[in-house]
């Protein structure tokens, strides 16, 4: 099923305003898909991402309201990216061992930082995990290729995805969300400078790993490791807010 067919079906059944939003922002689906493809294994197909992204765009058009406090493009981008990430996570190409190692790394980083009251260094994390430095870096590279992080679901300002809310929702939920956003921003601000720079170039400037490597004067694989370490460091520091189920 092609994007054209998806769009045509929706235009025949959806409201005019929503159809207009979908038609105007359909190119955003391919833009986001190509952006994600630059850092995904070859087993992930562009067409699959675009199909998932179109579903996200359709849902965004149906659910968007100006009261959400964001432009439609920002809101749709989050929904499209989230739909694509969900599609990726359905794949069976990420071994469970990669997920387990990622959690081990995150916990080891947190343990070392709690012990020393400062950022954990690579060799310290490796020692905590009782592995060699080379094995630690290899695990970081595996984690990044496995798309284990939710950072791609954040919008350009670093906020969390915009969630749907009903009048029956607990009014304290918004306070918790705002508090988490503040904690996330603080945690990012306290990352080592190189990790902050990599995240900024990757998510805000939208450079790929090879381009970031050229900026920093390091290899693409090293950028991948720095990116993974930054994400896992954030996971460890924010572990009190969100815990992932074991797989």
> Is 151 in contact with 235 (CB distance < 8 Å)?
no
* 57 or 148, which is more confident: 57
Q: Which pLDDT band holds residue 48 (cuts at 50, 70, 90)?
A: confident
Helices 220-237, 172-189: axis angle to 10 degrees equals 140
* 68 or 13, which is more confident: 68
Q: Quick one: pLDDT at residue 133?
A: 92
Q: Which pLDDT band holds residue 145 (cuts at 50, 70, 90)?
A: low
* 233 or 156, which is more confident: 233
Exposure string for 206-229, b = 16+ CB within 10 A, e = fewer: ebebebbbeeeeeeeebbbbbbbb
Backbone φ and ψ for 105, nearest 5 degrees, come out as -65, -45
Q: Is the pLDDT of residue 149 over 60?
A: no
* 29 or 185, which is more confident: 29
In angstroms, the CA 234 to CA 5 distance is 41
> Is 241 in contact with 176 (CB distance < 8 Å)?
no
pLDDT digits (tens, 9 = 90+) for 63-87: 887 765 678 888 888 889 888 888 8
Q: How far is CA 208 from CA 28, 39, 53, 118, 186, in A?
A: 18, 7, 20, 29, 25
The domains found in the chain, sorted by start residue, are: 1-93 (1.10.1740.10), 96-247 (1.10.10.10)
Asked whether the CA dihedral 110, 114, 119, 120 is positive or negative, the reply is: negative
Q: Say what the pTM is.
A: 0.55
Taking alpha carbons only, the member of 169, 148, 31, 66 closest to residue 100 is: 148
Exposure string for 80-109, b = 16+ CB within 10 A, e = fewer: bbbbbbebbeeeeebeeebbebbbbbbbbb
- Per the structure block, which two tokens stand in for 224? 């991948």
């Amino acid at each position: 099923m092609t994007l054209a067919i998806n769009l045509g079906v929706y235009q025949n059944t959806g409201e005019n305003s929503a159809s207009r939003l979908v038609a105007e922002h359909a190119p955003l689906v391919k833009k986001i898909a190509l952006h994600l493809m630059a850092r995904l294994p070859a087993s992930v197909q562009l067409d699959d991402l675009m199909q998932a992204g179109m579903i996200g765009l359709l849902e965004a058009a149906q659910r968007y309201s100006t009261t959400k406090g964001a432009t439609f493009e920002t809101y749709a981008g989050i929904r499209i990216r989230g739909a694509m990430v969900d599609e990726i996570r359905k794949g069976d190409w990420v071994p469970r061992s990669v997920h387990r190692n990622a959690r081990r790394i995150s916990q080891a980083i947190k343990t070392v930082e709690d012990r020393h009251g400062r950022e954990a260094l690579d060799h310290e994390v490796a020692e905590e995990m009782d592995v060699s430095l080379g094995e630690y870096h290899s695990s970081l590279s595996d984690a990044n290729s496995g798309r284990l992080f939710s950072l791609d679901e954040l919008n350009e300002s670093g906020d969390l995805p915009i969630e749907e809310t009903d009048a029956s929702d607990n009014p304290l939920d918004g306070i918790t969300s705002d508090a988490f956003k503040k904690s996330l921003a603080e945690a990012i601000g306290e990352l080592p400078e190189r990790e902050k720079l990599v995240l900024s170039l990757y998510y805000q400037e939208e450079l790929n790993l090879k381009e970031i490597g050229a900026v920093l004067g390091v290899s693409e694989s090293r950028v991948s490791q720095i990116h993974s370490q930054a994400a896992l460091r954030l996971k460890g520091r924010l572990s009190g807010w969100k815990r992932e189920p074991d797989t």
